[in-house]
């Protein structure tokens, strides 16, 4: 699909649930967020139908997110059904890893192509402060289980908070110990993330260079769906990556759209603009009507975000990331 700015949109991120088994401080309040009734969440056949129509329009890669997607039953079946749709080349999943150990075999058998596992620190005490849960070992167990399946690529996602105790260098060392890529994702000023300064790519790069020496730009085949820029470090099995949507804006090459767990199609993370696809699905709408609605949303996809500028209050997204979809 080509949008109004001439960008090729071939990547769809689908939130399958707004529920999560962690309470990360930059994502939601300690009490959690108000959950929607399960009847409002897209059902498996509805997700598959949207994916089929999206594939016919040119979507080739799909990422399943949440909330925490693995709290939803039957994720291996959903992966299998999406993966076999004509035109879909890759299906990947983002998870905090807590429930991964017991589900990994089924996901791999279903044809899952890749995992992004969120881990912001290797310090158990700091992990508990960030997530409000004492579950770091569960995430590490999930990582160790995932790397047993060579057909599934594994990436570790870390959001630097600017907290020295977080020790981002220790996180980076996972790429030395295991054949995984470690990516540092700049804090997005969305929802509860607005109150955290985070760290810029330059600040993270300086810390890593001081610890490991010069990072060398990776120039091989693409390693993922999006804008991550990767680097090599001598002695590391995996790469170090940076996704820096604020300090290194990549909107001009944006290739993604998002579907919330309630079926709302968003074309930009910052803004509320989009289309309600669930309404079409549950009111007897045809595939042609669904396709037209998707095209309408794409025709309004913004040139880019304006996080560094004062956005209009009435069209800036106020939901937190677990409600939008990570």
Please write the tens of the pLDDT for every residue from 69-110: 999 999 999 999 999 999 999 999 999 999 999 999 999 999
Predicted TM-score (pTM) of the model is 0.91
Contact of 77 with 71, CB cutoff 8 Å = no
Task: Read off the pLDDT of residues 35-44 as tens digits, 9 standing for 90 and up.
Answer: 899 999 999 9
In this structure, how many other beta carbons lie within 10 angstroms of the beta carbon of residue 259? 26
Residue-wise pLDDT for 228-284, tens only, equals 999 999 999 999 999 987 776 777 778 999 999 999 999 988 778 899 999 999 999
The pair of structure tokens assigned to 240 is 């170090």
The total number of residues written for the chain in this structure: 326
Contact 251, 301 (CB under 8 A): no
- Residues 58, 255 contacting (CB under 8 angstroms): no
Distance CA 222, CA 243 (A): 14
Tens of pLDDT along 113-165? Answer: 999 999 999 999 999 999 999 999 999 999 999 999 999 999 999 999 988 89
Contact of 120 with 89, CB cutoff 8 Å: no
Instruction: Give the number of other CB atoms < 10 A from CB of residue 267.
Output: 22
CATH number of 11-324: 3.20.20.70
Domain residue ranges of the chain, discontinuous segments joined by +: 11-324
- For position 226, what pLDDT does the model report? 76
Whether 48 has a pLDDT exceeding 70, the answer reads yes
């Amino acid at each position: 699909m080509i949008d109004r700015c001439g960008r090729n949109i071939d990547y769809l991120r689908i939130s399958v649930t707004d529920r999560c088994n962690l309470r990360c401080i930059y994502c939601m309040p300690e009490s959690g967020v108000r959950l929607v009734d399960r009847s409002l969440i897209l059902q498996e056949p509805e997700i598959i139908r949207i994916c089929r129509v999206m594939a016919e329009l040119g979507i080739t890669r799909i990422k399943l997110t949440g909330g925490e997607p693995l709290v939803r039953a039957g994720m291996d079946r959903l992966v299998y059904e999406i993966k076999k749709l004509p035109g879909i080349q890759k299906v990947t999943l983002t998870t905090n890893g807590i429930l991964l150990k017991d589900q990994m075999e089924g996901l791999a058998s279903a044809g899952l192509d890749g995992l992004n596992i969120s881990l912001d620190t290797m310090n158990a005490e700091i992990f508990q402060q960030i997530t409000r849960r004492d579950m770091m070992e569960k995430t590490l167990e999930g990582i160790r289980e995932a790397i047993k399946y060579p057909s599934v690529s594994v990436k570790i996602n870390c959001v630097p908070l600017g907290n020295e105790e977080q020790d981002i260098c220790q996180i980076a060392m996972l790429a030395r110990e295991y054949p995984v890529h470690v990516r540092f994702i700049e804090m997005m000023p969305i929802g509860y993330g607005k109150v955290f300064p985070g760290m810029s790519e330059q600040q993270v790069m300086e810390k890593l260079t001081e610890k490991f020496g010069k990072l060398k730009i990776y120039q091989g085949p693409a390693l993922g769906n999006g804008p991550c820029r990767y680097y090599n470090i001598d002695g590391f099995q995996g790469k170090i990556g940076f996704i820096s949507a604020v300090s290194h804006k990549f909107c001009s090459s944006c290739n993604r759209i998002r579907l919330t767990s309630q079926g709302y199609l968003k074309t930009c993370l910052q803004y509320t603009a989009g289309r309600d696809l669930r309404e079409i699905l549950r009111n007897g709408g045809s595939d042609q009507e669904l396709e037209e609605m998707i095209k309408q949303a794409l025709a309004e996809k913004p040139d880019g975000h304006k996080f560094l500028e004062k956005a209009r209050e009435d069209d800036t997204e106020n939901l937190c990331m677990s409600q939008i979809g990570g």
